[in-house]
Chains A and B, each alone.
Chain A
């Protein structure tokens, strides 16, 4: 490349959250969950020592996809559903850039489901943030692929009847090697997820539960409201027992008879902390059990659910092949076109 990549170590000018905010007026609805996510991102990038010139936000279409306009980084607001494809091309061209994809439940799981699948299975080193509000906001409130059965909307006046997509389950099925979930207003937790996603070499998938105040307000209240949060949120951490509840006495145990996770309470029925499953983020089987847990029967699982880095991300493997080919010497077009059967005319 012609441009020298600036290292993040030893930068003289320590950037702040403000340095990552663009001069554009933010045009989300007042009270939208996207504001909190944006703010968290500004701060996280500053904390991580990211450089705005080496950071690119690529988005599709939808409320969430306006995100790049509010970042003082490079940004590309593309077309509906195709952000992972554009980002893949960008990453192939410029593997050294930090590329983030911002998408929503309609953009990523409906019109762009195919591209999300392939970005994840190829393991392109992208940080994919899916803002899930279970509704189409920008088109004025139709149900989305993550809307629950019965969702009333302009396009489903008698309630939706199709089974919702589960973002993290989908990602795992696609072959994602980094899967995490957070909530729009939990800035501290999001900060950790953003950092972990960025560190992970390969496709990182982060579902962010995001409240649409206009078309689907309080749809996540059953686990986000203050009074239920402790009992309905399980924040998992690698190497730590999966405990939750106000007193942190509830936990997950594997029922070896049914091969299912079940909620148990320490101190009840002879349950001790030893019975509680310890989170292992490298364990894909455990990840498959965790992503299947949804309220109201289970708490919402938050944090890094799965992280098992592959030896090489996709674009790194592409570069490795290209280097192998280049090791035999640079290409010469005149030679190439004269290889094989030729003849001369005097």
Chain B
């Protein structure tokens, strides 16, 4: 599964269409993927700058938390766009009709402990009173396979859309297991949205193969994995940098 990526990371001028090429600085952007269920955020200069901050080993904890949260909010906003809406026309304060939409369906968050919990604040910033379930998955020392240790999920999770939270998608071992847990509680595969900051092409591919109906929303797909299955270039251990370092 691990593969030291020999291919060159994609590099391009970043900036909106209307900006002349000379005003677009060059930077490494997300690797493009052609899995239909993987949605990568628009590679705007601002997003690249935010990712640059959190990848930098010299960025302190306070800044790391702040800039991560800014990206997470963008992820949540994009993720919520995949939820269904129904038409809803209202009369505006100036007496005009506006054919708008109403959000439909109940949602909940499920964070994969512990790094996924770092995304809860960003989720709550957009959905105030959202219910949040938790899943603890750790690598078994003997088998080196992921093992489910704990889960606490809303009773009626089968009737909800689930936003599954984990910032780093390397091989996808724990995330795939988390989807299995959700499915075993009756959540339909196409009601699961996986929100993720940085993914590896391998992890995204594993997801597309196992659960083609789960939508993956990610800010950036990196070059690959190293021998220890860490994402390259990645940003180190997200949980450590967010919680303890």
Does A pair with B?
A: no
A residues lining the B interface (CB < 8 Å) = none
